[in-house]
């Protein structure tokens, strides 16, 4: 398999995701700069966390117009998979790949802590394979992580099994319906606010992030 990680000015989690992909999956991983184009066929392209373009205008808004996004669209048009983490999720909503928006946390504070997640639905083609009782512990680190969408959109996401993860128990940012991540209709594009790449450390014993990435890569 071949992976690509897109790097924007202000990305600060690109090296993290590259490191865990190389260590845990022993596959080719290319870093691609926001000004560049790519024609190589990748199995999965990652949009990492950070503060792309300093989060000017809105988080992820300016990155959605980066030159590299032309190649990202070509990648998805030919059926390639795309996964956005935190700022990457914000970019996916701003670029129209996923519905809704990520807005300011309800408490108006930047939040950095570990949260609990549960799968969205048995019908979800990525997380649906998880046992219903499985609770994942994954870190978050964001100021604009409150998922917002109309009631109609949220109902459609739920009915079609497109909710990737829910926050379990504590809803750290006030996301509507406890939504922590969602998918496209074909489940080839997904985004989530929590950082699975930060829960892949055998020394600390926090390995739930590998569960997430295993599901995304295998889907």
In this structure, how many other beta carbons lie within 10 angstroms of the beta carbon of residue 152? Answer: 9
Catalytic-residue membership of 40:
no
Annotate 2-15 with DSSP letters as a single string.
EEEEEE-TTB-SHH
Catalytic residue among 86, 94, 146, 183: 86
| Angle, helix 208-218 to helix 14-25, in steps of 10 degrees | 80
- List the one residue out of 123, 118, 63 whose CA is nearest residue 96: 63
5 contacts 50 by C-beta, under 8 angstroms: no
Catalytic residue among 34, 75, 142, 195: 195
DSSP designation for 50: B
What residues pair up with 114 in beta bridges, in sequence order?
A: 139
Catalytic residue among 34, 142, 146, 197: 197
Annotate 166-182 with DSSP letters as a single string.
EE-S--TT--GGGEEEE
Catalytic-residue membership of 146:
no
Catalytic-residue membership of 197:
yes
Q: What distance in Å separates the CA atoms of residue 25 and residue 217, rounded to the nearest whole number?
A: 10
Q: Which residues are catalytic?
A: 86, 195, 197
């Amino acid at each position: 398999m071949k992976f690509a990680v897109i790097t924007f000015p202000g990305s600060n989690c690109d090296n993290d995701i590259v490191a865990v992909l190389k260590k845990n999956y022993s596959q080719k991983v290319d870093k691609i700069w926001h000004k560049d184009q790519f024609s190589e066929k990748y199995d999965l392209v990652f949009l990492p966390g950070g503060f792309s373009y300093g989060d000017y205008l809105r988080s992820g808004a300016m990155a959605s117009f980066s030159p590299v996004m032309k190649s990202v669209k070509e990648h998805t048009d030919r059926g390639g998979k795309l996964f956005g983490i935190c700022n990457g999720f914000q970019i996916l909503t701003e670029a129209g790949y996923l519905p809704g928006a990520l807005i300011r946390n309800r408490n108006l504070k930047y939040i950095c802590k570990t949260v609990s997640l549960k799968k969205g639905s048995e019908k979800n083609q990525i997380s649906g394979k998880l046992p219903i009782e499985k609770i994942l512990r994954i870190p978050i680190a964001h100021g604009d992580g409150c998922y917002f969408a109309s009631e109609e959109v949220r109902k459609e996401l739920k009915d079609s099994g497109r909710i990737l993860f829910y926050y379990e128990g504590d809803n750290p940012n006030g996301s509507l319906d406890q939504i922590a991540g969602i998918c496209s209709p074909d489940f080839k594009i997904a985004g989530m606010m929590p950082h699975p790449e930060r829960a892949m450390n055998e020394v600390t014993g926090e390995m739930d992030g590998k569960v997430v990435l295993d599901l995304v890569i295998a889907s």
